[in-house]
């Protein structure tokens, strides 16, 4: 079984290392693990934030003081990296992804994780021209569009945020609720006319943190024809170290399937071990080479081969179209 990972921050590592003089970062540092884990495709995230304590590599890049400049640098690094990866195809549609798979290549869709760098909806078209297919208004910060999960849960989308959601849909960019706070989630559902997804969130019923979704939110995404991607980050799997395991993440998948139907569950693993301590995945899912262990847990819980295949790739490919 091969997997489409609906949320990958590998462009963060690519950018950091290319700015330090490295080349072929994906091939030299990540490809072996991707293949051992059965990854057939990725949704590569443009996350160019600096974090709450400015702990990211950007603090050491003098020319990267603004969000717009950081995004520009990351895009330049991504283009240069992809040019060095004949085994990886940049794709926009399911048909292109399937063609890449048939040719023996990995494939990559593009998403943006926070729109701090954008002035408004008019800035989306150039990104859509580059292949952007999924978009989050915020990371965990509050910006001109919305408030993230770490902010006041009563603050929702701004008028600019609502207009941006409508422009995303016009351009074929799926609105992604994963990093929004509670009010923002419901405002997004109200502003969007079609499918809404949460690319990398778990169940709040099993792990009560703001980045996870309530059963009501899960059902709302189901009713819009969307998917929720399972996230390996240890703190979203269980609040206690003893429960931060691949088996517990499989229980999140089972709960989602019970609430939404298995056809609305996907993978958005968000492996970030390359970002350093504190970014660990659940035990057994420390990096992407451990993905098969997660699917063995799904099988152990009684999920059928068809359900597992849906979670692995089919459900996300369906909504990407």
The answer to whether residues 285 and 246 touch, using CB atoms and an 8 Å cutoff, is yes
Assign domain 3-320 to a CATH class. alpha beta
The percent of residues above 70 in pLDDT, for the chain, comes to 99
Q: How many CB atoms lie within 10 A of CB 237?
A: 30
Q: Nearest-5° angle of CA 216, CA 217, CA 218?
A: 90
The full length of the chain comes to 321
Torsional class of 76: left (φ above 0), alpha (ψ -120 to 50), beta (otherwise): alpha
> Which two structure tokens, joined as six digits, stand for 265?
């569950």
CA distance 190 to 197: 13
Q: Tens of pLDDT along 290-321?
A: 999 999 999 999 999 999 999 999 999 999 99
Element (H, E) at 11: helix 10-19
* 8 Å CB contact between 232 and 287: no
Asked if 13 and 57 count as a contact pair (C-beta separation under 8 A), the reply is no
Among 215, 232, 247, residue whose Cα is nearest residue 6: 232
Percent of the chain scored above 90 by pLDDT?
Answer: 97
Can you give the pLDDT at residue 55?
75
Q: Tokens 């950007």 appear where? A: 58
**108: its two tokens:** 């990559």
The DSSP bridge partners found for residue 45 are 111
| Domains in the chain: boundaries | 3-320
Per-residue pLDDT at 185: 98
* C-alpha distance from residue 228 to each of 27, 77, 168, 213, 315 (Å): 29, 29, 19, 9, 10
pLDDT at 50: 84
Q: In the structure encoding, which two tokens stand for residue 211, read together?
A: 């980045």
At residue 53, the pLDDT reads: 54
Cα dist from 51 to 45, 56, 109, 161, 191, whole Å: 15, 7, 24, 21, 28
pLDDT digit string, tens, across residues 86-140? 999 999 999 999 999 999 999 999 999 999 999 999 999 999 999 999 999 999 9
């Amino acid at each position: 079984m091969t997997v489409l990972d609906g949320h990958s921050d590998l462009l963060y590592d690519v950018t950091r290392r290319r700015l330090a003089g490295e080349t072929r970062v994906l091939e030299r540092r990540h490809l072996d693990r991707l293949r051992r884990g059965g990854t057939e495709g990725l949704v590569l995230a443009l996350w160019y934030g600096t974090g709450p304590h400015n702990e990211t590599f950007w603090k050491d890049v003098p020319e990267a003081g603004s969000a717009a400049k950081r995004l520009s640098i990351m895009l330049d690094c991504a283009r240069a990296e992809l040019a060095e990866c004949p085994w990886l195809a940049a794709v926009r549609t399911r048909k292109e992804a399937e063609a890449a798979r048939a040719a023996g290549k990995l494939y990559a869709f593009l998403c943006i994780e926070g729109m701090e760098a954008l002035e408004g909806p008019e800035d989306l078209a150039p990104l859509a021209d580059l292949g952007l297919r999924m978009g989050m208004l915020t990371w965990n910060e509050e910006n001109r569009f919305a408030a993230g999960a770490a902010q006041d849960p009563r603050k929702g989308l701004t008028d600019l945020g609502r207009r941006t959601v409508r422009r995303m849909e016009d351009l074929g960019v799926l609105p992604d609720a994963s990093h929004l706070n509670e009010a923002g989630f419901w405002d997004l559902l109200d502003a969007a006319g079609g499918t809404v997804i949460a690319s990398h969130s778990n169940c709040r019923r099993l792990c009560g943190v703001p980045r996870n979704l309530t059963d009501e939110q899960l059902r709302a995404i189901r009713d819009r024809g969307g998917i929720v991607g399972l996230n390996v980050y240890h703190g979203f799997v269980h609040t206690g170290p003893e429960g931060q395991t691949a088996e517990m993440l499989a229980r999140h998948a089972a709960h989602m399937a019970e609430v939404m139907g298995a056809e609305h569950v996907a993978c958005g693993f968000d492996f970030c071990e390359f970002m350093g301590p504190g970014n660990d995945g659940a035990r057994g899912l420390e990096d992407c080479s451990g993905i098969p262990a997660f699917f063995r847990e799904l099988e152990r819980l009684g999920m059928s081969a068809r359900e597992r295949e849906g979670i692995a790739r089919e459900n996300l490919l369906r909504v990407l179209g």
